[in-house]
Amino acid sequence: MKKKEIIGSAATIGTGTAISVGGQTAAMGIATTFGTASTGTAISTLSGAAATNAATAWLGGGALAAGGGGMAAGTFVLGVIPIVGAGIVAAGAGIGIYKFCKKRKQK
């Protein structure tokens, strides 16, 4: 297996791990920094449950009353992030193992 292929697989695994571990926090950070609540108030000016609920609804496409998916959709998005990260880890590991086994078989 070439050094370039090892680095590529390791980078993919590292990216997937980072998404799994920190993706939800990053998504909420983006929502609270750049999002706007359905009332028109910047989420960054809110605190406590109001900020959490507004950020979750923002991730879901906006409040139900505004035509978005609301907090349920936002919760779904947050729940899917670690699964996507795990899938990326599995893909990187699978590609790395495949290339390693293919190389070993050729010898």
C-alpha 94 chain-centroid distance: 20
Tell me: pLDDT of 107 over 70.
no
Percent of the chain whose predicted confidence (pLDDT) is above 70: 99
Tokens of 6: 């090892």
Question: Residue 105 — pLDDT band, cuts 50, 70, 90?
Answer: confident
Supply the pTM of this predicted model: 0.83
Nearest-angstrom CA–CA distance, 68 and 70: 6
Judged by average pLDDT, the poorest of 3-12, 59-68, 74-83, 88-97 is 3-12
Q: How confident is the model at residue 24 (pLDDT cuts 50, 70, 90)?
A: very high
Q: What is the pLDDT of residues 62-87, one digit of tens each?
A: 999 999 999 999 999 999 999 999 99
Range with the poorest average pLDDT among 15-19, 72-76, 94-98: 94-98
